[in-house]
């Protein structure tokens, strides 16, 4: 009976601590911007929208669609930021709970093996169990394979560089695409990452050149316009007399905000700005298409 009473008191204490944690979260406010600071949203730890700030000097009041998209992007980023803050706080609460419950995690492996597991655990999409399996796979595999894998990782880090012109990954600068005289340097396709560039190249339908931004504007991940290859893009358009810039960023709020920001930077230059068409994928049926896809398809319709 004494043990049960002790467990009950401990449970009540943990419940009280979690309630206090939730109250503290509601008092904390995070902010996120879209369009390089054009719109800023403030959200508290309870995911409630507290305030919206709009930079009137930057936003075009006649472009309502852009303003609406930027507000949505800023609010979405702020909510994601609040989610991350709440998750971090909850994890800290669980750590306290484990300490209060007296749970002690024992080190089961040697420092070398434990270090390898931790390194694998830092890879994206790899959990603790998968990291453990990968570590033991390397321990049990042929030595030649393990050493070849290590050499491959080392070679990638030592030899791969960014192209001085388009920012793509390559082993010598300029890259093969920028050096290809058969491709037009008057049309630039702007992508977020080298993987996106590879996807467009696989289509074998684009004969211009590329510019890799290195990501998209994402306040949640602390990525601003200054962290991307935007200034070099504008400089390239001016210097090389580019006739058209095609935005091939991802169809997300971050990708849209990045496009709007760059479009404003290019405003006034004699260059056509376009974007990849969006809407209904080939082979799909209207009955199952999301509303946003149908809206995009109607706005981007073409003459038959």
Give the model confidence (pLDDT) of 152-166 as tens digits.
Answer: 999 999 999 999 999
132-150 residue pLDDT tens: 899 999 999 999 999 999 9
Strand order across the 39-44 sheet: 29-34, 39-44, 49-54
Q: Which carries the bigger pLDDT value, residue 238 or residue 288?
A: 238
Supply the pTM of this predicted model. 0.63
Q: Is the pLDDT of residue 104 over 50?
A: no
Structure-block tokens of residue 54: 């709009």
254-270 residue pLDDT tens: 888 899 999 999 998 99
* pLDDT band for position 184 (cuts 50, 70, 90): very high
Of the candidate ranges 81-85, 121-125, 209-213, 273-277, the one whose mean pLDDT is the lowest: 81-85
């Amino acid at each position: 009976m004494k043990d049960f009473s002790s467990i009950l008191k401990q449970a009540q204490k943990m419940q009280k601590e979690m309630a206090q944690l939730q109250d503290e979260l509601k008092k904390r406010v995070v902010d996120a911007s879209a369009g390089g600071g054009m719109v800023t949203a403030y959200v508290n730890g309870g995911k409630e929208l507290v305030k919206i700030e709009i930079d009137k000097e930057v936003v075009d009041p006649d472009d309502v669609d852009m303003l609406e998209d930027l507000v949505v992007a800023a609010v979405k980023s702020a909510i994601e930021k609040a989610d991350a803050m709440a998750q971090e706080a909850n994890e800290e609460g669980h750590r306290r709970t484990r300490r209060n419950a007296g749970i002690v995690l024992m080190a089961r492996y040697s420092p070398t093996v434990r270090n390898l597991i931790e390194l694998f655990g830092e890879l994206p999409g790899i959990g603790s169990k998968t990291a453990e399996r990968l570590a033991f796979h390397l321990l049990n595999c042929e030595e030649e394979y393990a050493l070849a894998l290590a050499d491959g990782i080392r070679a990638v880090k030592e030899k791969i560089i960014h192209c001085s012109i388009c920012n793509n990954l390559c082993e010598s600068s300029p890259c093969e695409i920028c050096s290809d005289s058969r491709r037009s340097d008057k049309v630039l396709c702007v992508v977020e990452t080298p993987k996106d560039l590879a996807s467009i190249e696989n289509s074998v339908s684009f004969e211009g050149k590329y510019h890799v931004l290195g990501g998209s504007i994402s306040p949640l991940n602390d990525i601003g316009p200054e962290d991307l290859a935007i200034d070099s893009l504008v400089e390239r358009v001016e210097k090389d007399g580019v006739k058209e810039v095609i935005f091939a960023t991802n169809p997300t709020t971050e990708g849209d905000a990045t496009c709007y920001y760059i479009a404003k930077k290019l405003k006034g230059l004699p260059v056509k700005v376009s974007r990849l068409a969006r809407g209904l994928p080939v082979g799909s049926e209207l009955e199952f298409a999301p509303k946003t896809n149908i809206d995009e398809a109607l706005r981007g319709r073409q003459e038959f």
